[in-house]
Homo-oligomer: A and B are copies of this chain.
């Protein structure tokens, strides 16, 4: 809140800002999940009347989009050195790290239609890597769309627990003790397997 000047002084100055609303909403989502976010609770946290929010955000869907964009802006993948395989691996790792940072939000966003937007770094980064890998420009979008879908599925399943539940299904667990949780090495192995799979898919699609 400090922003916009504390003092709060009279009233004219805007105590409520779009960004402030989004960050407060993000905090709520991170704490209790998207389902627990309501306009009323958000307003209460901000010490404000619920209807006041509507002067900065048209509706709840837009609110969630704004929150999503807020965290999407944190995503600054570094795509430079190494082979395209390494680049893709790092890219996926960065994305996954973001998903781990805000699991509730990401799980919700991945499941909704408009998560990935043409301009944001998810898409530009991915298509960049694909082009540098040698995927024909006419196919970059199609290939990228499939890869993004597949990978989203992985993150979604990891985020909501499906992945862990299924993987642990057979009692075949490789001898190791049951402490699968901490540090999550099983999850990491699943992750690298997923990435390798995607890489193999791209390689199969390269001309030549």
Interface centre among A118, A146, A151, A190 (most CB of B within 10 A): A146
Determine chain A's interface SS by DSSP, over half rule.
helix
Q: Which of A20-28, A92-100, A165-173 contacts B (4 or more CB under 8 A)?
A: A165-173
Q: Is A142 an interface residue (CB 8 A)?
A: yes
Chain B proximity mask over A158-194: 1 for CB below 8 Å, otherwise 0: 1011111111111011100000000000100110011
What is the total number of residues of chain A having a CB less than 8 Å from a CB of chain B?
Answer: 59
Question: Quick one: closest B residue to A148, CB to CB?
Answer: B166
Interface centre among A148, A162, A198 (most CB of B within 10 A): A162
Interface residues of A in 42-95 (CB under 8 A from B): none
Q: Is A196 an interface residue (CB 8 A)?
A: yes
- How distant is the Cα of A53 from the Cα of B154 in the complex, in angstroms? 36
Q: Are A146 and B190 in contact (CB under 8 A)?
A: yes
Report chain B residues within 8 Å CB of A198. Answer: 197, 201
Minimum distance in angstroms from A88 CB to a CB of chain B: 13
Question: Quick one: closest B residue to A203, CB to CB?
Answer: B200
Q: Is A112 an interface residue (CB 8 A)?
A: yes
Q: Is A4 an interface residue (CB 8 A)?
A: no
Report chain B residues within 8 Å CB of A163. Answer: 145-146, 149
Known A146-B190, A153-B156; contact A169-B197, beta-carbon cutoff 8 A: no
Minimum distance in angstroms from A189 CB to a CB of chain B: 7
Q: Is A111 an interface residue (CB 8 A)?
A: yes
A-side residues, CB < 8 A to B, are 110-116, 118, 123, 127, 137-154, 156-158, 160-170, 172-174, 186, 189-190, 193-194, 196-198, 200-205
